[in-house]
Amino acid sequence: MSRQNIYDNDLFFDRFRSSRNSEVNFNDCIETPILFSMLPDLHGKTILDIGCGMGQHAKQYSDMGAKAILAIDISEKMLTYAREYNSADHIVYQRMAMEDIRAIGQQFDLVTSSLAFDYIEDFGGLMSSIYLLMADDAKLVFSMSHPMVTAWDGSCDRYTRTESGERLHANVVNYCVEGRRVVHWVVDGYECYHRTLATLINDMIKAGFNIEECQESHISDDMRKQYPDLFGGTIHRPEFIFFRCGKR
């Protein structure tokens, strides 16, 4: 089974860190506000954060009153940054691939993940593993790239544009062909997995989840007009999709 660790690539990590540390970025302006709006009250909760990255969310969970947070990631560079800049007494950072989470052997009140499930080959198996790690009244809240975004293979520009570069519409390539996509994004060989929306939903249902809420990413017209180069494409497609699930 393929386990990509692109974030330990020096060039990719440096570019990602620079983007995340910028005042205006997709994570802080679009993804995080929606994800956090779907969270339950965190006071006294034990949390598993899958694909914790540089630890921003884990630190926020701690500040919001979480009792204990286990934050896992496959990237040692990410974890080194997290331990240095986003540490707290209630957070344990651990190097672990999401494919191996059944070995954790404890249950949590909340499982979260921010834009990490794009990299999992067996999404249905991951859902089943998460289900086993959740207490009866626990919640799963996660974000991932929208299927309209992963339905692209690098064979054309992501957008059809005017001669001046204005985006006219998004290009979707082989939406109905699921599986691994390898494209150039910062570096050659960037991998993610494309699935249809129906596959995502049915894999969650098969694992035993009730889907309580689903959202697609959005941003204000003002932000889109203020930063057209960054957010101009958001009028044509949602970048991310979000789910909150409970156990049946």
Per residue in 96-113, pLDDT (tens digit) is 999 999 999 999 999 999
Confidence (pLDDT) at 4: 67
- The number of distinct structural domains making up the chain is 1
Residue-wise pLDDT tens digits, 120-133: 999 999 999 999 99
Range of the structural domain that residue 209 is part of = 6-146+196-247
pLDDT in tens, 4-26: 677 777 777 777 777 777 788 88
Q: How far is CA 157 from CA 100, 140, 153, 172, in A?
A: 36, 34, 10, 10
Query: Considering the domain boundaries, does residue 41 fall inside one?
Result: yes
246: Cβ contacts below 8 Å, ≥ 6 apart: 137, 138, 139, 140, 209, 210, 212
Exposed/middle/buried for residue 240 (C-beta within 10 Å: 0-12, 13-18, 19+) = buried
Mean pLDDT of the chain, nearest integer: 92
Q: What is the pTM of this model?
A: 0.92
Residue 103 corresponds to which amino acid? A
Q: Is residue 214 in a domain? A: yes
| Residue 187, domain member (yes or no) | no
Element (H, E) at 241: strand 240-247
**Mean pLDDT, rounded, for 205-221:** 97
Cβ contacts of 247 within 8 Å, gap of 6 or more: 131, 134, 136, 137, 138, 208, 209, 210
- Region 63-80: what's the mean pLDDT? 96
Q: Is residue 10 part of a domain?
A: yes
CA distances to 78, 82, 99, 120, 124 from 88, rounded to whole Å, are 16, 10, 26, 28, 32
Question: Is 99:77 a contact under the CB 8 Å cutoff?
Answer: no
Q: Is residue 158 part of a domain?
A: no
